[in-house]
Chain A
Amino acid sequence: MRFHIYQVVISVISAIMIYQGVTNYIKGKNNPTLLKLLARIAVWGSMALITIFPNISNVAAKIIGIEGNINAVILIGFIFVFLMMFKLLSAIERLEQDLSIVTRNDALKRINEEEK
């Protein structure tokens, strides 16, 4: 099996990213969760797999029912990007609401103290 340079580069990057995720999870850095770790392994792992074994994308195309392995990869990529966007928007929304609650509690502090 002959490797191209891009396959080596992407595999090394994927390995580093997965290694970082696992060590962060073990050390408890950056609020790690099992879901985050699994997502990281899924993303970088599948990228490395598709790079090293391009024929895997044919299997994905067959499963999804799309003609052409490249189209299947792009479709999966889009779905993943949309999922990430949704997750980010949900997180931002939650943070915005938390921020409003903290700001409100601070503004009401004086009244709360007076009422006690």
Chain B
Amino acid sequence: MASQTESKIFVVIPAFNEERVIGDVINEIRNVGYRNIIVVDDGSSDETCRKAKEAGAISLKHKINRGKGAATKTGIEAAKLLGADIIVTMDGDGQHDPEDIQKLISPIVDKECDVVLGTRLLDPKGMPWHKIFANKIGNFFTWYLFGLWVTDSQSGFRAYSRHAAQVINTKADRYEYDSQVIREIYIYKLKFKEIPIAVRYTEYSMGKIQKQGIANGFKTLYKMVWSLLF
């Protein structure tokens, strides 16, 4: 539980058109003891922002859609302004289990590392094969382009110390954000740890069209290469 520590822990959730599930996601997080929840509505056309506010989160809104990376960064900036010691990022579609937050923050609380990466691939039970395959490709390119091997470069379930949140400053706006963070960990020599997390792929989360597909995958790769060149 969060009360085990004196650290101010903030959970940041980037969300785009998640009105159906965002309330439940927030309630689940609150039920495991985390009260500081920031939802960044990334220009949704539905009631995500209002539902998040009603569920008790600090609800911020991007007036236009800027991508998962941009929304995550806005949430991290907000958490920093509000004095966060540890910042946890997780997806807004309910695929991450809030019970895992404790596992993620423990190494930071114990000062073992600056960043903890939740990884689905250390125990990929229930994960569709095409997702595993796509993630492995993502891992390969992240390693090849950015120089650091991790087992799940595309996971959005991560925890950062305040120091890491201040150091990491990627300009990536969309799905390439997750890989860019790996690059920054490598560049700034931040200590990191990978922790297995549970994934809950539901019909809802798998059905969302804006999730990483093949086309988005290529776009992400292009953005990763572009960021290296210029």
Which residues in A have some Cβ–Cβ distance to B below 8 Å?
A: 89-90, 93, 96-97, 99-100, 103-104, 106-108, 110-112, 115
The SS class assigned to the B binding surface is: mixed
Q: Is A90 a contact partner of B230 (Cβ separation < 8 A)?
A: yes
Minimum Cβ distance to chain B for residue A12 (Å)? 38
Minimum Cβ distance to chain A for residue B89 (Å)? 15
A100 and B70 contact, Cβ closer than 8 Å, known pairs A108-B78, A115-B81: yes
Report the separation of the CA atoms of residues A96 and B171 in the bound assembly, to the nearest whole angstrom: 10
Which residues in B have some Cβ–Cβ distance to A below 8 Å?
A: 40, 43, 58, 60-64, 66-67, 70, 73-74, 77-78, 81-82, 171, 173, 226, 230
Q: Is A97 a contact partner of B173 (Cβ separation < 8 A)?
A: yes
Task: Name A108's contact: one of B70, B74, B226 (CB within 8 Å).
Answer: B74
A-B contact count (CB 8 A): 50
Q: A99-B64, A103-B64 are in contact. List 12 more A-B contacts (CB 8 A).
A: A93-B226, A96-B173, A97-B173, A100-B67, A100-B70, A100-B73, A103-B63, A103-B74, A104-B66, A106-B63, A108-B78, A111-B78
Report the separation of the CA atoms of residues A107 and B60 in the bound assembly, to the nearest whole angstrom: 6
Task: Name A100's contact: one of B58, B78, B173 (CB within 8 Å).
Answer: B173
The chain B residue sitting closest to A107, CB to CB, is: B60
Task: Name A111's contact: one of B61, B62, B64, B81 (CB within 8 Å).
Answer: B81
A–B complex contacts, Cβ < 8 Å, 30 sampled: A89-B226, A96-B173, A97-B171, A97-B173, A99-B64, A99-B66, A100-B66, A100-B70, A100-B73, A103-B63, A103-B64, A103-B66, A103-B70, A103-B74, A104-B70, A104-B77, A106-B62, A106-B63, A107-B60, A107-B61, A107-B63, A107-B74, A108-B77, A108-B78, A110-B60, A111-B60, A111-B78, A111-B81, A111-B82, A115-B81
Q: Which residues from B are CB-within-8-Å of A115? A: 81-82
The chain B residue sitting closest to A110, CB to CB, is: B60
